[in-house]
Amino acid sequence: MKKFVCLLNNKIFKHAAIMLLLAGSFVSCGNENNDPVETPFTEYSLAGTFCQWTNLNYDDKIIVINSNEKLASYINCLEGNYPEIDFLKYTLLLANGIVPNGCIIKKCLLQQLSINGYKLDIEILTDISEIMCPWVMALIVNKLKEESNIELKIIVKQL
């Protein structure tokens, strides 16, 4: 009887070990090097409307918008409406800030760093004028989880 229990325990141990190895391989699949993955986006613009951004602090932050109600609190229209977004499928990332000279947004790159971690790099070109330049970049991305964390990195270069 002891021999049978020992064999049974060995089989259970082997099966458990195989299951753990398989489970570990499924968990580790994916981006093994933790390299950032470029995330596609579409720029969202109020150009051609009688609308403008409002209630922004221009504090080099990203506002994550997942509803029409929240979007409406950041847009003011004199007439007409702003372009609609399907918030069941998409999230709007509204980055904004200010630089001390005239500016042009040159480049924008969104990367996924982890399951819920992202980094948004925005390159801004400035000129020699001494006019404060508030900037806004609005991006539509596939729906993000509420717990997503987005780091904003602003790179300022002179023309």
| pLDDT mean by block of 10 residues, the chain; 159 residues | 45 48 42 80 97 96 96 96 97 96 94 96 94 96 93 94
- The rounded Cα 123 to chain-centroid distance in angstroms is 16
Give per-residue pLDDT as tens, 96-112: 999 999 999 999 999 99
Of 96, 100, 101, 155, whose CA–CA distance to 127 is shortest?
A: 101
Question: Look-up: residue for tokens 């399951």?
Answer: 115
What is this structure's pTM? 0.77
Q: Where are the domains of the chain?
A: 1-30, 37-158
Predicted local confidence at residue 14, as pLDDT: 54
Amino acid at position 58, single letter: Y
